[in-house]
Amino acid sequence: AQRVTQPEKLLSVFKGAPVELKCNYSYSGSPELFWYVQYSRQRLQLLLRHISRESIKGFTADLNKGETSFHLKKPFAQEEDSAMYYCALRPGGSYIPTFGRGTSLIVHP
Amino acid sequence: GAGVSQSPSNKVTEKGKDVELRCDPISGHTALYWYRQSLGQGLEFLIYFQGNSAPDKSGLPSDRFSAERTGGSVSTLTIQRTQQEDSAVYLCASSLNGEGLFFGSGTQLSVL
């Protein structure tokens, strides 16, 4: 069975600092990876997908199959980035994603 | 509709009572998911519906939990004889093709 690990429950940075939210996975096949974000008092929403290879709100994530990681990065954090971030893996041939436990990002002014 | 709609937003019940949680997905989305979100536990998959196919119930934690989806649209998650450990936020999501899930605001269930 697949597993998604987000090793940090909480990540605290200052505005303008780089931020990296870690996501590691275990799965033997070819997965599809996602990052979801939940801002305060808002619903959970998709941030980005690895196959899109896009940058959303300044965030990027690269799938590293060798290290089985999909870390989320942003070079200069903003206060409005403060939120709960979830990494998710969808196994090949399945439509059911498995989520990590989430990392709470706090960006201080 | 504007998005996935869930009701009620909050539900307080007594241990042993049954509860029903409702989800109205985005129109046209064939896939519907139920997840449970507990503090510090992330999102726990419960059940998945796809079109007219038999649902994937592999995530349901016990036989007290059941769900149905009528007419390929609205879904109801039922918890019978609720226990305190059932307290959590129950999230519904829908998707057109599994590429990305659209979540509702959730139902906060508190079992006293």
Q: Is B51 a residue whose pLDDT tops 90?
A: no
* Closest residue on chain A to B39 (Cα): A101
pLDDT of residue B1: 53
Residue B81's SS3 state is coil
Select the more confidently predicted residue: B77 or B97. B77
Q: What is the pLDDT of residue B50?
A: 92
Using a CB–CB cutoff of 8 Å, tell me whether B31 touches chain A: yes
Q: Compute the C-alpha angle A47/A73/A30, nearest 5°.
A: 65
Flag whether pLDDT at A1 surpasses 90: no
Residues of B in contact with A34 (CB under 8 A): 100
Say yes or no for a CB contact (<8 Å) between B101 and A98: no
The mean pLDDT of B28-37, rounded to a whole number, is 94
Tell me whether B23 touches chain A (CB under 8 Å): no
Strand, helix or coil at B36? strand
| B20 vs B40 pLDDT, higher one | B20
Q: Is the pLDDT of residue B41 over 90?
A: no
Instruction: Answer yes or no: are the C-beta atoms of B75 and B32 closer than 8 Å.
Output: yes
For residues B98 and B107, give the distance between their C-alpha atoms in angstroms, rounded to a whole number: 22
Tell me the mean pLDDT in the region B37-43: 85
Mean pLDDT of all residues belonging to chain B: 93
Tokens 């070819």 -> residue: A30
Helices (H) and strands (E) in chain B, counts: 0, 10
Indicate the pLDDT class of residue A93, thresholds 50, 70 and 90. Answer: confident
A-B contacts (CB, under 8 Å): 42
Cβ B48–A46 below 8 Å, yes or no?
no
Structure tokens that stand for A98 in this block: 């498995």
Residue A51 in tokens? 């196959």
Residue B109 has pLDDT above 90, yes or no: yes
**Interface with chain B: mutation pick from A5, A96, A101, highest number of B CBs within 10 Å:** A96
Task: Give the pLDDT band of residue B42 (cuts 50, 70, 90).
Answer: confident
Give the separation between CA A9 and CA A19, rounded to whole angstroms.
Answer: 14
Q: Does B74 touch chain A (CB under 8 A)?
A: no
Band the pLDDT of B49: cuts 50, 70, 90: very high
Q: Which residue has the tokens 């592999």?
A: B58
**Section A72-98 average pLDDT:** 95
The closest alpha carbon to B61, from B38, B37, B45, belongs to: B45
How big is chain B by its Cα radius of gyration, in Å? 13
pLDDT (0 to 100) of residue A68: 94
Residues of chain A with pLDDT > 90: what percent? 82
**pLDDT score of B45:** 96
For residue B34, the chain A residue with the least C-alpha distance is A96
pLDDT band of residue B26 (cuts 50, 70, 90) is very high
The three-class DSSP label of residue A81 is helix
Residue-level pLDDT at B11: 97
